[in-house]
Structure 1
């Protein structure tokens, strides 16, 4: 160092000579400058001053390496240490030295060495490590690893994530042969081989989606990207990425299958299906739409639904579409009319929903059209026929009532004018037949009245009050029959009904329960209520004779059907009651067991809906 001081000064390397026995240290100017000092500021330098400049974390490490060198276990001392700069920050130093002489007793005496500032190098290494960490993180996120084939060194290398992707251990050494084995024989292996050859000999990049078999024999989709590197027109290296796309590929395949299923369903559906633009243009229609409207697809794509909608239905349709766009509803249904190409009017049951993108923006409408023209015509025909039948029944009941009244009157006159006539055995038979005929005509008239009052205005009626009134009406009958009635219906529930009908319905079920009570036990009738959907359900439960529903269930509400040997049973009450309930938009259900009792469940429209 004495002979060549200018070499060290020019390179910025600090030199030092350390007397191990005395602790004295001789340094050059560079040694001091690395730490921001002038040499004169540090002189005399001792081992103690040097130790004060050491980062505490590196003192033990340095001492261990020095000891190894002094004991002859290493040819030289080399240690990366950190020393404190004059401005307070820490400087990375590569300290190297060698023991030159020993004392006569063999103890270390003189050691010489160098200090080199490697702060920039260490910072670069730290930055590279951060970048590598970020790369590893990004590789994990995007499920990709790196690979390289070095043709000069004849080496193949894989990154850790590549090995993880292919289920091989970290110490796995890839080679040309075992690498190709990961690609299934046939199309996949041939494709990757051809791609490598093309890259090596023609300089083309690789970008393929192929199937591989992992080391654990799991099949998965990967994307292979490769870039050739040339020198003197020869490929010296091929490197790139391998990305796990198995999940996205399967989603893509599943989506393709679903899209094909939707396309097939859409195209061959028995009902009309269409995608309609936000301004009313037909975007896509199936054959059923063309059949319903009489247009070809090409003709429909040149028009809008507005142009072929009946003007009386257009405003309602547009209003509902606007509500879809404003998120006031998810979908809507309506019956509307279109003009066919031939000018005829076609009725359809239209269902419409709105499709939005991920941003919530409206894209298009989905419409379903079901041709109900024949159904509408049939309904109109049935309405007309129903009116005629009601008129016919009214005329028949009116005329029969006149004739039966005349027969009854003539029988009374004959009995009055010809006394012995009433003594004739046929008189009583004629009288009974006349009375039965009158009763039958009255029943027919009741049914006609029910059907002709279908369009009367309904009222909101308090159920509890009407039941209490019915109980009061039959009070004498309950006392003589020893029957107890419990009314636990909700006092605030109201139904939509005609007052006379509600009176008749409640009274009929209560008197039926009294009439068909069990003779061998105390008779109880419970009336309670419940809410189910849009209905108020009135339950009439008794512990009477019960009904054999397996035998008589289908005949229960038929006209003139009786199921017990009661003298005054006519089989008309339940028939009329059922007609009244259905005329109010309700229904009846029954549960019964012989000798245990019966529960009639009467469903009437809730007035609050």
Structure 2
């Protein structure tokens, strides 16, 4: 029994000793792994640790330092390549930063607190690095410092990134503030995040309001424009594609045009984060475009006039001229019948004179207008024309109803407006429909940036399917039973075009006609 008990005790001691050895080995492995983990962390963060135990037998510059592997790497050495000392480290301090470091250390010693300083070092290879250094002094019971320990972090890449961002930000700001384009940055709720000076000036001039960060972009828009802009932004959000439009406003009698572009700002997952609004002043381009269109229209009109002129010369002039030449050839052989031939000669010459007069009239219409623009009251024009027609035509009797409530006056060329009223009222009187009481309605319309004049009668009408493309031609007549030359509508059309206007006709035979003229307000 005693032997058995002894064996149990021995085996128990052996097992206990084995467990204790395993624990020691495990702890050693943990220390190795912990050390490795620390080195990895220091390497990732570019942070190294150092310490110094003060030795009274050595000068300060000869005091030994203990560096972690990362401190060696920050200074440009391989781990444990040299024996680091205070003097060695100070040799790596950039001379301009030496005073800054000494001041921080002195203040830490005096206050018995840690020191914290950012300075530059020059590595073994000559590379300049920016480091952040923080140290804690160790004191004995008597209050004397006996050592110091701290950390050093390489900030070079971070500083370079920050400097790069600052440079990029400064460059971007310089570009935005020196561009002719106005930029506004909005968040996903259309709140204003930022804008450049040019955008502020454009909004102030165009809307009379000031841009303010944090305010909603729609608060500065005119009420009638809000639905349209919202629809554009919604379209951009749905399609994730840029949208744009043009707008204009008038300042001191001059029209200013702007091209607006709205672009989405999308995240890495294509989610909508906000938008940018870019605005460019395109007034000069727009004026050039309008001038080009106006010049093109004038050239087309002149070309048509030349074609009509050539047609008249080849047809209307040739016949009377041939008659005159033929009659003059007969004069030497004529006897008592000469008086009859002279009457024919006179008639042909009269017709030729009338053609030349009409041609001069056509050329006069196409000359640049020399009349000034002036304020014109439509009621006065209407009354003057009616009085003139009554004086020229004793039987002038037509029911004319006017409505100038929307536009009572306009700024335009008075002789042209008067002639337009005269020709269209006169035509309504001349082309009456038998058995129907003649009636003419004249109405003015406010069409926003333009003014409309509408003349509607209940006369015999015109077959537009047959004559629509000849409606405003020179010498074009559509009712041979009514006397005329075919010049009235031609002059109306020419004068409307010269005033940058437009004229269209709607007509149904045996029902009546409606002439609609649109003119710019200024």
Normalised to the residue count of structure 2, the TM-score between the two structures is 0.52
1:182 aligns with 2:85: no
Deviation at 1:371, TM superposition (A): 1.7
Q: Say which of 229, 233, 243 aligns to 1:332.
A: 243
Aligned to 2:100: 191
Q: Deviations over 1:463-509 (max 9, x none)?
A: xxxxxxxxxxxxxxxxxxxxxxxxxxxxxxxxxxxxxxxxxxxxxxx
| 1:251 lines up with 2:155 in the alignment | no
C-alpha distance in 2 between matches for 1:149 and 1:297? 69
Match of 1:146 among 30, 33, 49: 49
Residue pairs, 1:97-176, within 5 angstroms: 117-152=20-55, 154-169=63-78, 170-176=80-86
C-alpha change, 1:236 and 1:290, in structure 2 (3 Å) is same
Which of 203, 218, 234 is the aligned partner of 1:322?
234
- Alpha-carbon distance between aligned partners in 1 of 2:223 and 2:293, rounded to the nearest angstrom: 25
Distance in 1 of aligned mates of 2:307 and 2:192: 57
Unpaired segments ≥5 residues, structure 2: 1-5, 57-62, 331-522
CA displacement at 1:203 relative to structure 2: 2.7
Where do 1:227-242 residues align within 5 Å?
Answer: 227-232=136-141, 233-242=143-152
Q: Against the structure 1 CA distance between its residues 396 and 222, is the aligned structure 2 distance closer, same or farther, given a 3 Å change threshold?
A: same
Separation in structure 2 between the aligned mates of residue 129 and residue 339 of structure 1, nearest angstrom: 80
In 2, the alpha carbon distance for the partners of 1:172 and 1:230 equals: 28
Instruction: Tell me which of 286, 292, 303 is aligned to 1:393.
Output: 303
Give the counterpart of 2:174 among 264, 276, 279.
264
- Provide the secondary structure at the position in 2 that maps to 1:168: coil
Residue 209 (1) aligns with residue 188 (2): no
Task: Check the 8 A contact 1:292/1:346 in 2, yes or no.
Answer: no
Asked if the contact 1:293–1:339 (Cα under 8 Å) also holds between the matched residues in 2, the reply is no
Q: Is the 8 A contact 1:290 1:297 kept in 2?
A: no
> Is the 1:339–1:345 Cα contact (8 Å) retained in structure 2?
yes
How far apart, in 1, do the equivalents of 2:38 and 2:281 lie?
61
Q: CA deviation at 1:138?
A: 1.2
Give the Cα separation in 1 of the matches to 2:71 and 2:192. 50
Pick the aligned partner of 1:352 from 249, 262, 273: 262
Residue in 2 that maps onto 1:301: 212
Q: What is the deviation of 1:370?
A: 0.9
- Higher normalized strand content (fraction of residues): 1
Instruction: Return the structure number with greater relative CO, CA threshold 8 A, min gap 6.
Output: 2
* Separation (CA, whole Å) in 1 of partners of 2:38 and 2:144: 30
Q: Per-residue CA shift, 1:555-609, capped at 9, x if unaligned?
A: xxxxxxxxxxxxxxxxxxxxxxxxxxxxxxxxxxxxxxxxxxxxxxxxxxxxxxx
For residues 189-588 of structure 1, what are the structure 2 equivalents within 5 Å? 189-232=98-141, 233-294=143-204, 299-301=210-212, 304-310=216-222, 313-326=225-238, 328-337=239-248, 346-356=256-266, 362-406=272-316
1:131-165: CA deviations, max 9, x gaps? 11111111121122211122258431111121122
Please state whether the residue corresponding to 1:122 is helix, strand or coil. Answer: helix
RMSD (Å) for aligned C-alpha atoms:
3.8
Q: Distance in 2 between matches of 1:31 and 1:155?
A: 51
Task: Answer whether contact 2:116 2:135 (CA < 8 A) is retained.
Answer: yes
| Cα distance, 1:410–1:297 mapped onto 2, change above 3 Å | closer
2:82 and 2:7 mapped to 1: Cα distance?
Answer: 50
Work out which of the residue numbers 1, 4, 13 in structure 2 matches 1:34.
Answer: 13
Q: Answer whether contact 2:265 2:273 (CA < 8 A) is retained.
A: yes
Shift of 1:369: 1.0
Once residues 294 and 124 of structure 1 are traced to their aligned partners in structure 2, the CA distance between those partners, rounded to angstroms, is: 74
Aligned-pair CA distance for 1:384: 4.2
Give the secondary structure class of the aligned counterpart of 2:109: helix
**Over residues 74-101 of structure 1, what are the superposed CA-to-partner deviations in whole Å (9 max), with x where a residue is unaligned?**
xxxxxxxxxxx8xxxxx37xxxxxxxxx
Residues 487-535 of structure 1: CA deviation (Å, up to 9, x unaligned): xxxxxxxxxxxxxxxxxxxxxxxxxxxxxxxxxxxxxxxxxxxxxxxxx
CA distance in 2, matches of 1:373, 1:305: 24
Give yes or no for contact 2:182–2:199 (8 Å, CA) kept in 1.
yes
The normalised TM-score by structure 1 is 0.45
CA distance in 2, matches of 1:34, 1:313: 94
Deviation at 1:265, TM superposition (A): 1.6
Counterpart-to-counterpart distance in 2, 1:400 and 1:138: 96
1:268/1:286 contact within 8 Å kept: no
> For this pair of structures, how many residues does the alignment match?
315
Partners of 2:263 and 2:276 within 8 A in 1: yes
- Report if aligned partners of 1:276, 1:283 keep a CA contact under 8 Å in 2: yes
The 3-state SS of whatever aligns with 1:155 is coil
Q: SS state of the match for residue 294, structure 1?
A: helix
Distance 1:297 1:207 in 2: 53
| 1-structure distance, mates of 2:311, 2:149 | 105
- Separation of aligned partners in 1, 2:46 and 2:253: 61
- Quick check: which has more Rg, 1 or 2? 1
Contact 1:199 1:205 in 2 (8 A): yes
